[in-house]
Amino acid sequence: MTLTGRGGAVVVFSCTLLGALIGGLFGPRSAQGVLFVAGCLLAVSMTRRTDLLTLVVSPPLLFFLVSLLSAVTGSIGEKSLLVSVAVTLAAKLTSSVPWLFLGAVLVVLIAVPRGLPANLRELRARVAADNPFRGRTALRARRRGRTDEDDDPVRWDDGPGRLPAAKAPSPED
């Protein structure tokens, strides 16, 4: 069974949310982190090779979203909801940094041999192909019969106020 990139993100989100629920109901504070790492490992091993780039960038964001959701639900009924959410979220994120780091690093370490560099090369090629400014000056130069070295508008050998050597007036003029 293989997952798409979105499916892998859903697996990471679901495991992290389950860990937050277990931690909130039963008390083990590290449950969210442990299940986050387990979800990351499960998702990166089951995601298609072509969708690894989507999965590699999403775990930190998903961990933040689950932490925000648990901070909001845990702060309902407090005097100042906004202050309570901010303090709870800051405490949760700072105490979970090792789990977040471990999950993100494991995803990258497992995704690299599975084909992440090929995904990056493909993305770079697609971005270069979609660049609207790529090749326009070279195309115009070929239409005018110029070479590539004529495309450089800066002439370092021409000083200010001097005419280029090709356009210097002849003694007959």
Q: pLDDT tens digits, residue range 3-37?
A: 899 999 999 999 999 999 998 888 888 899 999 99
Q: pLDDT tens digits, residue range 35-85?
A: 999 999 999 999 998 889 989 999 999 999 999 999 999 888 888 889 999
Report whether 98 contacts 51 (CB < 8 A): no
Is residue 158 one of the residues assigned to a domain? no
pLDDT of residue 141: 52
Is residue 165 one of the residues assigned to a domain? no
Q: Rounded CA gap, 84 and 6, in Å? A: 32
Is residue 164 one of the residues assigned to a domain? no
Domain with 16 in it: 5-127
